Homo-oligomer: A and B are copies of this chain.
Amino acid sequence: MDSTLSRNPLPQVITYLAAMKLKEIAQKLNCELRGAANVEISGLAGIEEAQSNHLTFVSNPKYFRLVKETKAGAIILGPDGPETSIPALVSQNPYLTFALAIELFYSPPEPIPGIHPTAWVAETAELGDDYSIGANVVIEDSVRLGKRAVIHPNVTIYPHAQIGNDFLAHSNSVVREHCQLGDRVILQNGAVVGADGFGFAPREDKSYYKMVQSGRVVLEDDVEIGANACVDRATIGETRIGKGTKIDNLVQIGHGSRVGQHNVLAAQVGLAGTSHIGNHVMLGGQVGIAGHLTVGDGVVATAQTGIARSVKPGALISGTPEMNSSLWKKNYILMHDFPELVKTIKRLSQEVEELKSQQTEQTKI
């Protein structure tokens, strides 16, 4: 393993590009341009913060009303977007075009090619070409790493991990032994892939015996794991995160779970062991899922939902335990009058009692 210092002693340049004319941006983003082609744009901003040198966007009809008030120099909008007096770029997907526009104005510091002299790469590790291995990185025995890996300082890759091309690992992230990562996987800082699952066998004296966690984690292509998030290895077999699924910070994925493709798990979500999640699922922040159950394709759970039973595809759910979101909202509103309701019921009980006794009286008559 070549461990020669190949780091550039010069400062990294902050790659804020100079201002561009709108027509140039339109060309690069492949958008139809409406209005003044020569507006100078020097950056991007949200529709409410934008100034005359900014390009902004509008996608959600909910915000169309803000277009009249924006101070932006130009706006990205859809073919069915609102009327506007400012120059516009027309896109089938304004939000995606906005994302691409950011890349015209900013890119993160360039990774420094080579292996930093303080990094430790085991002799038995195999690295693809064009890597950037940062300071104090540790790559252990028999690791296999694809091309163009960018590994920031203080990352640890345990023995026998197998990782695809274009791996990006931020500082303090970890890939544990035998785990398998596809292409273009991103680990944010402190992400832990493959720590031991939480598996213990109770003994007769009520103490717990630690079960060796013999399984591994598989992250398919294009998965991103957020800062300090954890994906536990399986007791036996594997924990699998499907292609394109994005996992936010501080999320917990329990051992043996199977998460499908192109899901979005917001911060602090927790999946107990052996959860099975379909594709295109969206879990809001702090959602919890009990173990050994199945969440169908396209399910959306609002923040803090506690999923205690399997959920059918396409359901929109809320509450702990979960229920249909619209019922949950209705109940929430009604709960504001709950104390009054209880009083009403007490009053009704009395009144009915009185009515009954009066009726008895009358019947006697």
Contact = CB atoms under 8 A, between A and B. Distances in A.
A105 interface: yes
A107 to B, nearest CB: 7
Interface string A8-52: 011110100000000000000000000000000001111001000
Interface in A107-148: 107-109, 116, 118, 120, 122-124, 134-136, 138, 140-142
Contact of A209 (B96, B170, B178): B96
Contacts of A172: 154, 156, 172, 174, 190, 192
A271 to B, nearest CB: 9
Contact of A206 (B10, B102, B262, B335): B262
A110 to B, nearest CB: 9
Contacts of A70: none
A211 to B, nearest CB: 4
Most interface-central of A156, A171, A209 (chain B CB within 10 A):
A171
A189 interface: yes
Contacts of A107: 212
Nearest to A172: B172
Interface in A222-250: 222, 224, 226-228, 230, 232, 235-237, 244, 246, 248-250
Given A195-B188, A334-B338, A211 B102 contact: yes
A327 B336 contact: yes
A230 B249 contact: yes
Counting contact residues on chain A (CB < 8 A from B), the size range is 35 or more
Contacts of A106: 212, 214
Contacts of A296: none
Contacts of A93: 201, 203-204
Nearest to A256: B46
A118 B199 CA distance: 33
A169 B344 CA distance: 59
A177 interface: yes
B264 A267 contact: no
A156 B359 CA distance: 82
A79 B338 CA distance: 44
Contacts of A105: 214
A46 B108 contact: no
B203 A96 contact: yes
Contacts of A349: 344, 348
A106 B330 CA distance: 52
Contacts of A209: 96, 99
Interface of A: 9-12, 14, 43-46, 49, 92-93, 95-96, 98-99, 102-103, 105-109, 116, 118, 120, 122-124, 134-136, 138, 140-142, 152-154, 156, 158-160, 170-172, 174, 176-178, 186, 188-190, 192, 195-196, 198-204, 206-212, 214, 222, 224, 226-228, 230, 232, 235-237, 244, 246, 248-250, 252, 254, 262, 264, 266-268, 270, 272, 280, 284-286, 288, 290, 303-304, 306, 308, 319-321, 323, 327, 330-332, 334-339, 341-342, 344-345, 348-349, 351-352, 355-356, 358-359, 362-363
21 contacts: A12-B160, A102-B212, A106-B214, A109-B140, A154-B154, A158-B171, A170-B174, A174-B190, A190-B228, A190-B230, A192-B227, A206-B280, A207-B222, A230-B249, A270-B286, A272-B303, A286-B286, A286-B306, A288-B304, A319-B320, A351-B352
